[in-house]
Structure 1
C-alpha cells in the first residue's frame, strides 16, 4: 500500500473525489454539498482544538466496517445535523460513507498542523494495510501520501547536516576615539643655563660647581661635568613634566561592551553549530544504540530479553531517543535493528492480538505501559493499541470482536516482530505529536 506516484490533493477536493467515485450522492444538489463542506470544516476546527482525537478519527474513517455506535460517529452526526438538520430524511440509514468522507476531509484540513499530520500518517501506515478500502483506496492513498510528504520534508530538514554554517557578524559599535589633552613641555632655560655653567668649572653660577678646570685636571673635570650636567638636565625635565601630567583614562566601559558583544557572538555561533550538527549527532547516537543492542529503559542487553517483547521495547527506546518529526526511514532503521538479533525469525508472524496480550502482561514492558498511560487519553471508543496497553491491567481478556472494534484491525491480523516494533514506534510518535500540539496552544507554552 501507498507506493504509487500521486498528484497533490487539496482538502476541498476530498468530498468531490468521493462524489466523483460514486461513493456518496447528494443528488446533484450544490446546497447539500456546501453543507457537507461546512460540516467538514467544523470537524477540522474541533480536531485542531483536541488533536488527541486524530487517531480515533482516522481509525474510524479508514474502516468501511466501523461500528455505528462509536463515539466518533455520534460526534460527526451531531456536527452534520447542526449544518443540515434534515439530513436524516435524505438517507435511509446512518450514512457511514458520508460520515467517513467528512472525517477524511476534516483530517486533511487539520493536518495543516504538522503534529496532527504525524498522527494521521502513522495511523494510516499501521492500519490501512489490514483494511479493505475498496473503491476508496485511491482517495486514501493520495491523501496520506500528500500529508506524509509534507511531514517527512520537515523531518528531513530537522535531521539534516548542512554543508556549511553561516555564522552571524559580530555586532559591536566601536566607541569614539579617546581625546587626550596636554600642555606643551616648557623648560626653565635660565635655571638650566646656570646649572650647566656651574658644571663647567669652579666659577660657575650654579649651586653645585665643578671642582676642576678642564685645562688643569681634564680627567676629573670630565667626570664632574658629566655628573653635574646630567643632573641638571634631568631636574629641568622632571620639573617641566610635573606641569603637564594628564588625568587617568578609563576604558573599562568600552572593554565591557566589547566583551559582551564577543560573548553574544560566540554564543550565537555555538548555537548555530549545535543546531546544524544535531542531526549528525542523533544519527551517531542511533548507530551506537544499534551496535550495542542495549536497552536504556530496561538497562539490559536486548539479547537477554524474550523475543516476544524485545521488538516493542526497542520501539520505546528508539522513540525516546528521537524527536517527534522523524523521517520515514527511522522506522526502517528500527526494523533492521530488531532483525540484527539472532533470536528474531524474520519470517515468523504472530496475530496482533497475541502481541498485544504479551505487551499487556509482560513484566519487561512495564516501561512501555507507563509511557502509554502518560501519552494516550482514556477513550470510550476506537483508538490506538497504546490505549489498550494504558488501560489493561494484569490479564488481557478482550475478545476478538471487541478487539476489532477498539483498534480497527482484525484480531487475527498477523505481524512479524520487526513490523510490530514499527507499529508501536509509530503510535508512540503519533501520541507524543498530538500531546505536543495541545501544549503548543496553551499560553506561554512551546511546541
Structure 2
C-alpha cells in the first residue's frame, strides 16, 4: 500500500471512528445530566437528590478511573481492541435499558458502578484504537472530528427528553439504541494499516521511554488537568452563574447557550486541526486556545449584564472545547510506549475524572467569600497555566 492510499484509508476511517466516539458521549451525557437526576429527584425530592447525586457521582468517578486504566491495559495485553469495544457496548447498553427497573440507593450505586465498568470497557480500547491506526499527519483532523462528540451528546439529551416522544421508562432504552447505532460501524469497518506494527508486536522494544518524552507527557497531562478543572466548574455552576447575572435566565436559556457553544466549537476545531496537520504545528493550537480560554474566564469574572456574560462564556466555551478535542488527539502523538497505549491513555483519563473531585472543594472555598468573580479569576489562572505547560515540541 502506498503512502497516499494509506492516508486515503485513514481519511475514510476517521469519520467512522468519530461517530463511535460520539456514541460514547451519547452513552453518558443524557444519562448523567438528565435521566439520572430526573429519576432521583422524582423519587426522593430535590433536597435529598443532591446528596444521592453527589454519592453516585463520586462512586462513578472512582469506578470510571479504575475501569479505564484496567480495560485499556487488558486491550494492550490481548493485542485486540474491537472485541473489548463490542463487549463494553453490549454491557453498558443493557445496563442502561435496565435502569428504570432499579430502585433504592444501594442498587443504584451498584448499577452505576457496573455501568461505568461496561462504558469504560468500550471507551478505553476505543481511545487506543485511534492511536493504533491514525498517523501523526492526521492527528489534528482526528481531534477536529472528536469535537463533534460533545455536541451530539447534548443533542441526544434534547432528543430523548423531547415532550411527548417517550416516557421516562423508555428513554434509557432509546439512548442505548443510539449508542449501538453509532458504535457498531467501527466494529465492522476495515481498519487502516497499523501506525507502528513492529512496536505493537514487540513491547520490549519500548520498555523504557526516553527522558525527554517523560517530561513532554507530564506537561501534557498537567495542562489538560488544569483546563479540565475550569471546564468541570463551568459545567456544574454555569446555570447558577447565569441566574446570578440575570435572574430571568432559566434552565432552558442556559441549555440553549450551552448547545450553541458546542455546535459552534465543533467546525472550528475541525478547521484548526486540519491547519495543524497541513503546517505540522500540532501543539500550537493548544497553547493558543488555552490563552483564549483564560481571556474568556477573565471576561466572565468582570462581566456585567446578560449579553457580556453570554459572550464571555461563549469565548471560553469554544476555546476550551477546541483545546480538549485537539489535546485528546495530540496526546496519541506523545505517548512513549505504543505497546501500552491503552494503559497510558487510562492514566490520561484521570484528568477527566479528577476535576470532579477537585472542583467542589475549590468552589466552596471561593464562591461564599469572593463570589463567582473570585472563582473565575482562579480558573483563568489555571487556563493560563495550561497554556504555559503545553510543550513547544512533541519530544
TM-score scaled by structure 2?
A: 0.23
TM-score scaled by structure 1?
A: 0.21
Which structure would you say has the larger Rg? 1
Give the number of the structure with larger relative contact order, counting CA–CA contacts within 8 Å between residues 6 or more apart. Answer: 2
